[in-house]
Structure 1
Amino acid sequence: MGMLTVEIDASTERILAELTSGGRSPDDVVREAIRIAGRLRWMEQARADAERLAADPDDLAEIRAIQREFGDADAW
């Protein structure tokens, strides 16, 4: 396990005080914040990938070909 030292500003200190007021430790709050930041980064990357794929002419052509082959999906 690593050790991390962070300098925080007054605004962040107030938020940390709120998050620890129920008895949670600052360590727990920071660990959760890092995990949330990781999930947000993953979701942003997935969104960017989806936008890139949605604009890819080859992928769009393949989707149209599949739609032609299988017909109207709303009919099911």
Structure 2
Amino acid sequence: MASELAFPVSVRLDLESFGSLRRLEATGLSRSDAIRQALVAAADRLWEPEVLAAEAAELMNDSVDRAEMRRLDAELDGLDEPIGGVSDASG
């Protein structure tokens, strides 16, 4: 899986992440290949329709986020009103 270009990265792992890395290495992957494959797989999962749908559902059920959306919607609606009561002559 190695490519011609390599970008060195330093990371500090917590115990859970280190344990996951060890399990990947136990399959015979090198440490670098295990990390590369895990990063690619994680990034790919972000764009899976099921993941996106679950994230959207989570946001729709988030009362704090919904309140913020309503507040912003009301704020943006106020921007449509003419300044100083002067309206556009065309409409």
Cα distance, 1:23 vs structure 2: 2.0
Q: CA separation in 1, counterparts of 2:18 and 2:52?
A: 32
Aligned residue among 22, 27, 43 for 1:22:
27
3-state DSSP of counterpart to 1:6: coil
Which runs of 5 or more structure 1 residues have no equivalent in the other structure?
52-76
Task: Give yes or no for the alignment of 1:8 onto 2:13.
Answer: yes
**C-alpha contact (below 8 Å) 2:21/2:31 kept by paired residues:** yes
C-alpha displacement of 1:47:
4.2
User: Which of the two has greater helix per residue?
Assistant: 1
After TM superposition, list the pairs within 5 Å mapping 1:1-76 onto structure 2: 1-44=6-49, 47=52
Alpha-carbon deviation of 1:14?
1.3
Ranges in structure 2 where 5+ consecutive residues have no aligned partner: 1-5, 57-91
**Among the aligned pairs, what percent are the same residue?**
25
Mapped to 1, the partners of 2:39 and 2:52 lie a distance apart of: 20
State the structure with more CA Rg: 2
Runs of 4+ residues over 3 Å off in structure 1: none
The verdict on how the C-alpha distance between 1:22 and 1:43 changes in structure 2, with shifts beyond 3 A counting, is closer
CA RMSD for the aligned pairs?
2.5
Change (3 A) 1:14 1:47: closer
